[in-house]
Amino acid sequence: MPIPPHLPPPVCNVEHYHKWQRVKLLTAAAFFGVVAGLSGAAMMIGWIWPGFGGGNNWITSQSVIKDRNQLSDSLRHEIEEKITTVYSQENTAGAVGFLATKNRIGQAVFITSDGWMVMQKPSQLNYKTWRLLLSDGSVYGVSKVVADNRSEILLLKVGALPNGKSLVNAQFKVTSFAPKVKVNDDNFIFSNNRWQWAYIQEAVAKNLVLPHLDTAPTDTFLTSGNFASGSLSFNNDGQLQGIVRSDGLLLPSFYIDLLSNRFLAAQEQFSYSSLGVEGWFSTEQPLLIKNQAVVGFYVNKILTTGNLLHVGDIVSKINGQIADQANLWYTIYNTPIGDTVKLQILRGGKEMVVDVKVVEVKG
């Protein structure tokens, strides 16, 4: 019904208006309360039962851990094709020959396509009876071995057996060396035909024997697991990271690469670039002068005639750099044989500077 123009407009019901406002506020509060409650419940369920619902984040995180802790099947197979198991001899039972588990002395990995391999040096080197079992089931003998006592590695050359598989035109798949080994790197250990995962825990400056050659391998690594001597370590890319030594520490690949390449170039024996001295670093046995610790390399023995260094000297710097393991090794191996390096030494508590020739020391 239309309102007559001479009458005032109708007045609203104030009580009804306030009641409607309260209803709207309560409805909004209830809605947001329900949303907050559901969110809190979902978070609690996710914390107590992480796998509930199978969300993308859960699957992704598990995949990352899984990928880090294992190599792909194809990469494992590729690495295993380059590894051979070494046995001390072949046994027979009637007309059947077999390789006894008790005679297994380690694993070797190919570093040249014509059959040179590297492994941890075993205690016995009567290699003429050794047998090599390859991943494809082929069995070979060993024609030559060359050992290096300083690094504890052994190079061995595959040899043909009477009535065995021919080596004519044989080409073996070879491993590549990891350019660098770092703390926290993944560490895939192959030992006794089994794969295990660990990681590089810390660097350890240590040599098995004191005194030792100034450039003998001392930079080793501790892994997060205990592995048998001779176990082979690989990284995520299938590159050789090192070999586990008899003390359980990992000898890194850059030593193995350098020493084996120097041998293969001459085909004689292992050789080291050196200052022609033996001793130890202050990180191996602390050095003291007037009740003060000093950093450097202590000279315990002179190996070459005409050497300007004396027994009792402490080499504190080389070409201006602190004479620690890394700097000494790097500087000497980047200096041609016969050239000199500038050494700052402590002799009788007094500082001196001498120029010393880099020489070649046979293994």
Q: Output the domain CATH number for residue 284.
A: 2.30.42.10
Do the domain assignments include residue 49? Answer: no
For residue 67, tell me if it sits in a domain. no
Under 8 Å CB-to-CB from 335, ≥6 apart: which residues? 273, 341, 358
Residue 203 lies in a domain: yes
Tell me which residue of 172, 194, 221 sits closest to 104, measured CA to CA. Answer: 194
Last residue in a domain, options 266, 296, 314: 266
Q: Which residues contact 135 (CB under 8 A, 6 or more apart)?
A: 80, 81, 83, 84
Residues 105, 180, 154, CA angle at the centre, nearest 5°?
Answer: 25
247 near 228, Cβ under 8 Å? no
**pLDDT value of position 267:** 76
pLDDT in tens, 240-285: 999 999 999 999 999 999 999 999 988 778 999 999 999 999 999 9
In a domain, residue 283? The reply is yes
Backbone angles phi and psi of 276, in degrees to 5 = 80, 30
Q: What is the pLDDT of residue 239?
A: 96
What Rg value do the Cα atoms of the chain yield, rounded? 35
> 13: pLDDT confidence band, cut at 50, 70 and 90?
low
pLDDT surpassing 80 at residue 132:
yes
Going by pLDDT thresholds of 50, 70 and 90, the confidence category of residue 9 is low
Q: From CA 239, how far away is CA 254, in angstroms rounded? A: 12
Would you say residue 3 has pLDDT above 60? no
Mean pLDDT score, 81-87: 97
- Quick check: 7 pLDDT over 60? no
- Which CATH number covers residue 97? 2.40.10.10
Which pLDDT band, with edges at 50, 70 and 90, does 6 fall under?
low
Q: Nearest to residue 118, comparing CAs of 159, 147, 90?
A: 147
- CA 309, 315, 318, 324: dihedral to nearest 10 degrees? 140
Helix (H, G, I), strand (E, B) or coil at 325: helix
Domain assignment present for residue 31? The answer is no
Q: Which of 203, 246, 105, 217 is nearest to 150 (CA)?
A: 217
For residue 232, the SS3 value is: strand
DSSP 335: S
Backbone angles phi, psi at 114, to 5 degrees: -90, 5
Do 276 and 260 sit in the same domain of this protein? no
Residue type, 230: G
Residue 176 has pLDDT above 90, yes or no: yes
**Same domain flag for 286 and 354:** yes
The DSSP secondary-structure symbol of 177 reads B
State the greatest distance between any 2 C-alpha atoms of the chain, in Å, as a whole number.
Answer: 132
**83 within a domain of the structure (yes/no):** yes
- pLDDT reading at 159 higher than 70: yes
Lowest mean pLDDT among 2-16, 287-301, 313-327, 346-360: 2-16
Q: Domain span at residue 247?
A: 186-266
Highest mean pLDDT (candidates 33-37, 50-54, 187-191)? 187-191
Q: Do residues 277 and 358 both lie within one domain?
A: yes
Closest by alpha carbon to 80, among 242, 191, 155, 197? 191
Q: How far apart are CA 149 and CA 340, in angstroms?
A: 27
Q: What's the number of domains the chain is made of?
A: 3
Answer yes or no: do 288 and 349 share one domain. yes
Q: Is the pTM of this model over 0.95?
A: no
Residue 351 confidence (pLDDT) above 60: yes
pLDDT of residue 17: 64
pLDDT at 121 exceeding the cut of 80:
yes
Residues 200 and 126 in one domain: no
Q: How confident is the model at residue 237 (pLDDT cuts 50, 70, 90)?
A: very high
User: Where does a domain end: 237, 266, 295?
Assistant: 266
Q: Token digits for 295?
A: 């950093």
Per-chain mean pLDDT for the chain: 87
Task: For residue 166, tell me if it sits in a domain.
Answer: no
The torsion defined by the Cα of 108, 110, 114 and 120, in degrees rounded to 10, comes to -40
Examine the domain organization and report whether 248 and 191 are in the same domain: yes
Listed residues 266, 297, 322: the one ending a domain: 266
Please indicate, yes or no, whether residues 341 and 288 belong to a single structural domain of this protein. Answer: yes
Q: Taking residues 299-321, what's their average pLDDT?
A: 97
- Within-domain flag for 91: yes
pLDDT in tens, 196-210: 999 999 999 888 889
